[in-house]
Amino acid sequence: MAARLTALAATHARILSRRRTAVLLLALLPLAFYGALYRHSPNAVTVGGVASAFSAGGAAIFSMLPARAADQRLTLAGYRPSVLITGRLIVLEVASLGISLLTAAVMVAGTGPPHPADVYAGVILTGLVAVPLGLALGALLPRELEAVLVLIGIVGIQITAGPDTVLSDLLPFHAARQLLDGAVSAPAAFWPQLAATVGYSIALVGLTWIAWARRTGPRPQDPITSSRADRPAGATEL
């Protein structure tokens, strides 16, 4: 299992490294949101930080959905769905961490918030939960378009909904947003936000695993019987 996990993680790292343009755009996307607001809005750090979820979640979606058929072959070759998910998760979380650190560093330098550590923490937690969210959307939805639209909806609502609304509380980036909001005002407690984000992430990974196992996993070959088995034959052996 370790050999397969290593091979799969190396594969996804290799694929990601060969998508240089996409990686560059993923790194620039949250900075574009921040750059559009940083002179005009006190929410620039929050928007830029939560917008990093577009990058991490989008990368996860496009790692899952186009590979569905190949993953089916990998399951036939002996890969477990848990390995298929974990291999991606490792690579994407590392990539997301890199984007988060870059985004946070630029925002701290640009805005000079009173609590810069919370900027780093908020952006990193955003990426931490955005990857499992993208994986889950990729596992649950049939095509890239649908998955990306749902991701845009979730992140967009998280950015625009008031931080104290019930809707905002339920969304996956609420804890990260608390930290980002607090970075420029009164800081939020770190550990509860970390616990909430990790809990959300674990739930999303579990959901992804179940959905991907159903979509790609080999089916049992135990006898299947039903009353329809005696219908006239639709095949002829020549």
Task: Please give the residue ranges that form the binding site for other proteins (CB under 8 A).
Answer: 1, 3-4, 6-8, 11, 14-15, 18-19, 67, 69-70, 72-74, 76-78, 218-221, 223-226, 228-238
Who contacts 196 (Cβ-Cβ below 8 Å, separation ≥6)?
174, 175
Residue among 91 and 171 whose Cβ is closer to other proteins: 91
Who contacts 209 (Cβ-Cβ below 8 Å, separation ≥6)?
81, 82, 85
C-beta of 80: minimal distance to other proteins in Å?
11
Residue among 55 and 63 whose Cβ is closer to other proteins: 63
C-beta of 12: minimal distance to other proteins in Å?
9
C-beta of 21: minimal distance to other proteins in Å?
12
Q: Quote the CA–CA distance of 54 and 29 in Å, as a whole number.
A: 8
Residue among 43 and 86 whose Cβ is closer to other proteins: 86
Q: Quote the CA–CA distance of 198 and 215 in Å, as a whole number.
A: 25
**Ramachandran area for residue 235 (φ above 0: left; ψ -120 to 50: alpha; else beta):** beta
How many CB atoms sit inside 10 A of residue 155's CB?
23
Q: Is 8 within 8 Å of 87 (Cβ atoms)?
A: yes
Exposure string for 163-197, b = 16+ CB within 10 A, e = fewer: beeeebeebbbbbbbbbbbbbbeebbebeebbebb
Residue among 40 and 231 whose Cβ is closer to other proteins: 231
C-beta of 91: minimal distance to other proteins in Å?
13
C-beta of 215: minimal distance to other proteins in Å?
10
Residue among 80 and 198 whose Cβ is closer to other proteins: 80
